[in-house]
Amino acid sequence: MALEITNSLEAFQVKGVLDKSNVEKFQSHFKNIFHSTDELVIDINELKRIDHVGVSAFEEIYKQSLINRKPFYITGLGSKEMFEHLKTIDAA
C-alpha cells in the first residue's frame, strides 16, 4: 500500500505504509512546515504500518517543533505509543 498524505483544515492525514521505501516523500512534504504554520497536527489513524525509518521521520518533525517552539500533535490509533516514544527524544 502506498503512502498518501492529505490535508484538511484540522490535520494532515497519513494513510498507508510509511517505511524506508517512501520516507523521503514524507520528509519532503513536511520539510520546513513550521515556517508556514503555527502548529502541526498529523492524524495516523489510517497508517497501516510504520518501520523504524518512518518513526525516525516523526522524530525529526518533533525535534523541529521543539526548535521552532511550535506545537506538534499526533492523533489517531497508535498515537499514544508514538507519543511515549517521542517523549524520550531530546531536541539538541
> CATH number, domain at 45?
3.30.750.24
Q: Please tell me the distance from the alpha carbon of residue 54 to that of residue 7, in angstroms, as a whole number.
A: 19
Is position 74 within any domain? Answer: yes
Is position 6 within any domain? Answer: no
Q: What is the pLDDT of residue 87?
A: 75
Is position 1 within any domain? Answer: no
Is position 55 within any domain? Answer: yes
Q: Please tell me the distance from the alpha carbon of residue 42 to that of residue 14, in angstroms, as a whole number.
A: 7
∠ at Cα 63 (57, 64), nearest 5°?
A: 95
State which residues form the domain around 54.
Answer: 11-87
Q: Which residues does 72 contact at the CB level (< 8 Å), separation at least 6? A: 39, 40, 41, 42, 61, 62, 65
Is position 27 within any domain? Answer: yes
- pTM summary value: 0.85
Is position 53 within any domain? Answer: yes
pLDDT in tens, 42-54: 999 999 999 999 9
Is position 80 within any domain? Answer: yes
As a whole number of Å, the end-to-end CA separation of the chain is 34
